[in-house]
Chains A and B, each alone.
Chain A
Amino acid sequence: MNTSLILLILAIIGIAGYVAGARYAMALVGGISSKLHSRPGYYGSFVAVWAILPAVVILFVWLVASPMFISSSVRGAFPEEVKTQSQAEQGLSYGMITSIARGMNALTGDEIARIENNPVELRAALGAKGVPLAGDPQPFMVKAAAELNRMTFVSRILMTILVLGASIGGALFAYRQIAPRFRARNRVEKVILGSLVVASSIAILTTVGIVASMLTEAAHFFTAIPAWEFFFGTVWDPRFAAAGSGGSEGQFGLIPLLLGTLYIGFVAMLFAVPIGLFSAIYMSEYASPKVRSVAKPLLEVLAGIPTIVYGFFALTTVGPFLRDISSQLNGLVTGDYANFIQAQSVLTAGFVMGIMLIPYVSSLSDDIITAVPRALRDGSLGLGATRSETIKKVVLPAALPGIVGALLMTASRAVGETMIVVLAAGVAARLQINPFEPMTTVTVKIVNQLTGDLEFTSPQTLVAFALGITLFAITLCLNIYALYIVRKYREQYE
Chain B
Amino acid sequence: MNMMSESAVEKALDQKMSDASHKMIGKDVSVYYGEKRALFDVNLNVRENTVTALIGPSGCGKSTFLRCLNRMNDTIENCRVTGKITLDTDDIYDNNIDVVELRARVGMVFQKPNPFPKTIYENISYGPRIHGLSKNKADMDQIVEASLQRAGLWGEVKDRLHESGTGLSGGQQQRLCIARAIAVSPEVILMDEPCSALDPIATAKVEELIHELRANYTIVIVTHSMQQAARVSQRTAMFHLGQLVEENDTDKMFTNPDDQRTQDYIMGRFG
Q: Please report A residues at the B interface, Cβ cutoff 8 Å.
A: 289, 373, 375-386, 389, 393-394, 397-398
Flag if A383 contacts B181 (CB, 8 Å). yes
Q: What does the 1/0 interface line of B177-208 toward A look like (CB < 8 Å)?
A: 10011001000001000000000000000000
Measured in the bound complex, the distance between the Cα atoms of B68 and A484 in whole Å is 41
Give the residue name and chain of the B residue nearest to A385 (CB). B130
Flag if A375 contacts B110 (CB, 8 Å). yes
Measured in the bound complex, the distance between the Cα atoms of B109 and A415 in whole Å is 47
Give the residue name and chain of the B residue nearest to A377 (CB). B75
> Chain B nearest CB: distance from A378 CB in Å?
6
> Chain B nearest CB: distance from A492 CB in Å?
8
Given A383-B181, A384-B131, A393-B126, verify A378-B100 contact (CB < 8 Å).
no
Measured in the bound complex, the distance between the Cα atoms of B110 and A380 in whole Å is 11
> Chain A nearest CB: distance from B79 CB in Å?
13
Give the residue name and chain of the A residue nearest to B78 (CB). A289
Flag if A384 contacts B114 (CB, 8 Å). no
A sample of 18 inter-chain contacts (CB < 8 A) reads: A376-B114, A378-B72, A379-B110, A379-B115, A379-B177, A380-B126, A382-B107, A382-B108, A382-B110, A383-B103, A383-B180, A384-B101, A384-B102, A384-B103, A384-B130, A384-B131, A385-B100, A397-B116
Given A375-B112, A397-B118, verify A383-B72 contact (CB < 8 Å).
no
The 3 closest A-B pairs by CB, nearest first: A384-B104, A382-B108, A384-B103
- B127 interface contact, C-beta 8 A: yes
Which interface residue of B72, B112, B115, B130 has the most chain A CB atoms within 10 A?
A: B130
Flag if B177 contacts A381 (CB, 8 Å). no
Measured in the bound complex, the distance between the Cα atoms of B79 and A94 in whole Å is 80
Flag if A384 contacts B116 (CB, 8 Å). no
Given contacts A393-B130, A398-B116, 17 further A-B contacts (CB under 8 A): A373-B114, A376-B114, A376-B116, A377-B75, A378-B108, A378-B110, A380-B116, A381-B75, A382-B70, A382-B72, A382-B181, A383-B104, A383-B126, A383-B184, A384-B102, A384-B131, A385-B130
- B6 interface contact, C-beta 8 A: no
Cβ-Cβ contact count across A and B, 8 Å cutoff: 72
Write out the residue numbers on chain A whose beta carbons fall within 8 Å of the beta carbon of B181.
382-383
Write out the residue numbers on chain B whose beta carbons fall within 8 Å of the beta carbon of A375.
110, 112, 114
Interface residues of chain A: helix, strand, loop or mixed (majority): helix
> Chain B nearest CB: distance from A322 CB in Å?
42
> Chain A nearest CB: distance from B159 CB in Å?
24
- B117 interface contact, C-beta 8 A: yes
- B77 interface contact, C-beta 8 A: yes
Flag if A384 contacts B184 (CB, 8 Å). yes
Residue B116 contacts which of A289, A386, A389, A394 (CB distance < 8 angstroms)? A394
Measured in the bound complex, the distance between the Cα atoms of B190 and A380 in whole Å is 14
Flag if B75 contacts A289 (CB, 8 Å). no
Given A378-B72, A379-B116, verify A384-B110 contact (CB < 8 Å).
no
Flag if A398 contacts B117 (CB, 8 Å). yes
Write out the residue numbers on chain B whose beta carbons fall within 8 Å of the beta carbon of A382.
70, 72, 103, 107-110, 181, 190
Measured in the bound complex, the distance between the Cα atoms of B190 and A227 in whole Å is 68
Measured in the bound complex, the distance between the Cα atoms of B77 and A382 in whole Å is 17
> Chain B nearest CB: distance from A77 CB in Å?
73
Measured in the bound complex, the distance between the Cα atoms of B116 and A375 in whole Å is 9
Write out the residue numbers on chain A whose beta carbons fall within 8 Å of the beta carbon of B101.
384
Give the residue name and chain of the B residue nearest to A400 (CB). B117
Measured in the bound complex, the distance between the Cα atoms of B110 and A393 in whole Å is 19
Write out the residue numbers on chain B whose beta carbons fall within 8 Å of the beta carbon of A379.
110, 114-116, 177, 180
Give the residue name and chain of the A residue nearest to B129 (CB). A393
Measured in the bound complex, the distance between the Cα atoms of B115 and A373 in whole Å is 11
Which interface residue of B100, B180, B181, B190 has the most chain A CB atoms within 10 A?
A: B100
> Chain B nearest CB: distance from A385 CB in Å?
5
Measured in the bound complex, the distance between the Cα atoms of B61 and A455 in whole Å is 78
Measured in the bound complex, the distance between the Cα atoms of B130 and A389 in whole Å is 8
Write out the residue numbers on chain B whose beta carbons fall within 8 Å of the beta carbon of A381.
72, 75, 103
Give the residue name and chain of the B residue nearest to A399 (CB). B117
Write out the residue numbers on chain B whose beta carbons fall within 8 Å of the beta carbon of A384.
100-105, 107, 127, 130-131, 184
Measured in the bound complex, the distance between the Cα atoms of B108 and A379 in whole Å is 8
Which interface residue of A380, A382, A385 has the most chain B CB atoms within 10 A?
A: A382
Give the residue name and chain of the B residue nearest to A395 (CB). B116
Measured in the bound complex, the distance between the Cα atoms of B116 and A373 in whole Å is 10
Measured in the bound complex, the distance between the Cα atoms of B180 and A115 in whole Å is 99
Write out the residue numbers on chain B whose beta carbons fall within 8 Å of the beta carbon of A383.
103-104, 107-108, 126-127, 130, 180-181, 184
Write out the residue numbers on chain B whose beta carbons fall within 8 Å of the beta carbon of A289.
77
Write out the residue numbers on chain B whose beta carbons fall within 8 Å of the beta carbon of A393.
126, 130
> Chain A nearest CB: distance from B136 CB in Å?
20
Measured in the bound complex, the distance between the Cα atoms of B129 and A389 in whole Å is 11
Write out the residue numbers on chain A whose beta carbons fall within 8 Å of the beta carbon of B103.
381-385
Write out the residue numbers on chain A whose beta carbons fall within 8 Å of the beta carbon of B184.
383-384
Measured in the bound complex, the distance between the Cα atoms of B77 and A289 in whole Å is 9
Q: What does the 1/0 interface line of B89-127 toward A look like (CB < 8 Å)?
A: 000000000001111110111101011111000000011
Measured in the bound complex, the distance between the Cα atoms of B108 and A44 in whole Å is 69
Q: Which residues of chain B from 63 to 80 have a CB within 8 Å of any chain A CB? A: 70, 72, 75, 77
Measured in the bound complex, the distance between the Cα atoms of B133 and A383 in whole Å is 13
Which interface residue of A373, A380, A384, A389 has the most chain B CB atoms within 10 A?
A: A384
Flag if A378 contacts B114 (CB, 8 Å). yes
Give the residue name and chain of the A residue nearest to B177 (CB). A379
Which interface residue of B103, B105, B112 has the most chain A CB atoms within 10 A?
A: B103
Measured in the bound complex, the distance between the Cα atoms of B225 and A46 in whole Å is 64
> Chain A nearest CB: distance from B256 CB in Å?
36
